[in-house]
Amino acid sequence: MQRLLLIILFFMFVVHAKPNLDHENYGKWVMLTELNNKYVIYEPCESGNRFINYQKGKLDDFAGQEMISCQIKSSYFKDGKYFINLEPRCSYSDSISYEVKDENTLIWHLYNSLSFVTTNQPDKFDKIYELCEEKQ
């Protein structure tokens, strides 16, 4: 009887287990831009490309020449998305999320419906550099 109870408890734990949020998605995630039906890394002339540095307990959002650094209060997984709750008033939103597109690509959902695709393997993508003379 005890053996049956242990098996049932183990089965209930496995079925109801939540994904471990200390997952493999930490690291530097560089924004991709879709150009002619393929993704590239676009480098504007006056600033660098956007990227997110995601670490355990901390998230840095580098947008051109601006950087927002926030402590992570909590995170959870729901309906195929990872939700991250940030410290209050740190960013434009107290909560952001991302979806895993594949093992090297995430789709970040930030504030005001801003979403973009990122990669942790920027060397696998062509880079487009905007020259400052082109803007004149």
CB 29 within 8 A of CB 54: yes
User: What domain count does the chain have?
Assistant: 1
Token pair recorded at residue 116: 């973009």
Boundaries of domain holding 107: 22-135
Report yes or no on 11 lying in a domain. Answer: no
CB 99 within 8 A of CB 106: yes
Report yes or no on 67 lying in a domain. Answer: yes
Report yes or no on 10 lying in a domain. Answer: no
What residues have CB less than 8 Å from 6, skipping those under 6 apart?
A: none
> Could you read off the pLDDT of 24-69 as tens digits, one per residue?
699 999 999 999 999 999 998 888 889 999 999 999 999 888 899 9
Report yes or no on 12 lying in a domain. Answer: no
Report yes or no on 49 lying in a domain. Answer: yes
Report yes or no on 4 lying in a domain. Answer: no
Q: How far apart are CA 73 and CA 59, in angstroms?
A: 11
In sequence order, what are the beta bridge partners of 61? 52, 68
The CATH number of the domain holding residue 27 is 2.40.128
> Could you read off the pLDDT of 73-119 as tens digits, one per residue?
999 999 999 999 999 988 888 899 999 999 899 999 998 889 999 99
